Chain A
Amino acid sequence: MIPQQRRTQASMLFLLLLFGATNGQAMAADDIGRAGNEALGLRAGVLIPTRGPYLQSPTSTSLVVRWRTGTASLGRASYGTEPGTWIASVDEPTSTTEHEVTLTGLAPDTRYYYEVSDIGGFATGSDSAATFLTPPTSSSRQATRIWVWGDGGLDNVNSRAVRDAFIARTRTQPADVGLMLGDNAYYSGTDSEYQSGCFTLLQPILKRLPFLSTRGNHEVLVAGANNDYYDFFTLPSAGQAGGIPSGSEAYYSFNWANVHFICLDSEGSDRTLAGPMIQWLRMDLAASQSDWNVCFWHHPPYTKGSHDSDNITDSGGRMRDMRENVLPILDSTGVDLVLAGHSHSYERSYLIRGHYGLSTTFTEAMKVQPGDGRPQGGGAYTKATNGKGPFEGSVYAVAGSSSQLTTLASHPAMVSKVAAFGSMLIDVVGNQFEARFLDLAGVVRDSFVIIKPQVLDTPPHSRPATLVFAAPQPNPSRQSSMLRYVLPSRGRVDLMVLDVSGRVVTRVVGGFQEAGEHRAEWRGVDDRGRSVAAGIYYARLEWNAQKRLQRLVRLR
């Protein structure tokens, strides 16, 4: 077994050696050397971005627009809710070729149109295709359409067909947000490779679909500015789009309506349990209040495609690390779907849980539901909990065939395997989650549906299984405080008030009580009926050897 840290270091040096510090500049020169003035970003007095515009870090109220020009200029992004009618614009403070403008003050769930321009006067002109939809607020159950593009970083006849099949399929109902599963530009993620394999190939889509990405093994990091993965993307590391701030663009989360997306970095970040990424993951997942939770990263925990998740040295053990360290957390919190690329094929699991070992350790008991998840086939998967349902199972999909393809063998966790170029389209409509794999002809080669209960206003538990001691009301108080608690079953109850030194001031309740809700009033007096001094007190509840404590503040 190769220690993860060492493998990470190994790849770092390898990549530095391969690509060096000046690479980006050299490649940028290649990019812009295509033809005359167009390479300078100018055509008949009109600014032509040599890259973009493309949309990043979408939140309900803001969005980042990025583009590149061949010559440095002061950039401006103008936007409005009608094409060509701009209600506001944002100017860059300094002249640059790498433009990045944050639009703020946007309204949630609203379609905007925009243009990018040079403050000096050049403009892209009105383009009704340059548009975006802001995410609905996370409490919204607005329908959401998601596109998933995996290992798509080669501009070839196949990737174009996959792209075009997606465009055709979504002409009447466009996607809202896109996910890139890494290896977005082969073979090393250089600037010129990103230009051709990502930004040019996907430009018709990128100017209208905000994209968020995870880093793959072919995203090489090199020294210098504007020449590698992290330079090309602006990712929501500060929790601005929902979720807990990670402080890292390698792993982050964001919300789109009632879906919480978590991006992890299986390539370069510490994958150990004690590392910051997994520490952050625990907090972020615990905080998610969304109906649906989707995780994505590059190296799949289960695959028998061009990579083998049973080979613990394959990809430096990254697939094993993610399976052993991350999956138990996802299981226990109740993630619905895990997306990965890396293997150049499509594989999709049953609704499963508890599988953290080699494929030989997979058992039937790990299938939460043994069907194929298709309403027309073995039936949709159903989950009992709206939101995170611990151990209710997850579906794992490998979708790394957007530009390359290999044959594949069978993994017992997988109910579907397809050796076809394609991408995934996911529709989330309220309590229903439907994912499809579209091949390059637009044919649906696999699909599954997960259904959760309809969201209802459920009454509070009248009799919880656990002891509940509610916060005193009012608190602070001058007169009396009401102490409310719920007993799961009959038992001996001791409810006392303590002072700050732990001395028992008075016993409010002592004796057996029936299951259910109980209330006891403390009037701010000690056991002899004398008013206590102002200050901090504690209400201590004990029932069947279980203890609870609440703080009380007594005012004069």
Chain B
Amino acid sequence: MTTPMLATTKLTKRFEKRLDLAGRLAARLGANVKDEVVRAVDAVDLAVAKGEVMGLVGESGCGKSTIGRMLAGIMPPTEGAIFWKGRDRAALAGAEAKAANLAVQMVFQDPASSLNPRLRVEDIVGEAPLVHGLTTKAEAGDFVDQTLLSVGLDPAVKRRYPHQFSGGQRQRIGIARALAVKPEFIIADEAVAALDVSIRAQIINLFADLKAKLDLTYLFISHDLSIVEHIADRVTVMYLGRIVESAPTAELFANPNHPYSVSLLAAVPRIEDRKRIFHPVKGEIPSPLNPPPGCHFHPRCPHAFERCKVERPALKEIAPGRVSACHLNDKAA
């Protein structure tokens, strides 16, 4: 097997809230207070091959954005390693580390809050390549023009500020900023969630065009399954910090294995289903502060049995290129 472009092993992120002085005193006196620990991402193994579009789906609080941020280098992992083209990113130094970091860029959900409102578009897009020596001061103007053209914006608008653009155009600026440092890997975190339906199609097409033109690899994080189904080659489903299933897109949508994937796919309203009777999943999404033991999904799972309550199911290969974390697969075998 070829080395994946970006891979993680046992990637974990814990957010801890330590007790303050009053809390510690109360604990000393026997009160039932403890440090609060959220396992936002819990020992995740993920691998994305070059040229692939990996879809990462899940509901709020499942840790999908946290993974994106760790991969982009915005947030350090608590445990585990991130491998860039087979090499541990933490072990890289100097120019190599810089190149590896620049090669992974992120596009955010809300272009309004991820673009500096006080900078002109030319500075938003042109600042990073200048700092990193990808262009010179003299050529920066042309460089910005080219980058803006590549995302379908007229270079004539580069003197404007972000608030002078519509939502779709702002998202194009966000994409241009990511592309300006010539990345190989783009992490799109809910990049089209805030856009209207007709504008959304334009931006999804832009992502597809850029991938073909610039030979990019994507991690496409979204809660919208219909978009992921359209754009992704493989899909990874997460629930409360863990991967529950990962499979080629067509196989996952045709035949989901994990009970959570099944209910997630069933819950998506589709235009093909008229006047349907909704059969919802029971129960709430548990708090990540206090997740259920064993398989996180067992309180909501229609097939749960004793083992699910005590033992965390491991991700096992169920077919070539498909993994799922469910005890039911052992039962059937």
Bind each other: no
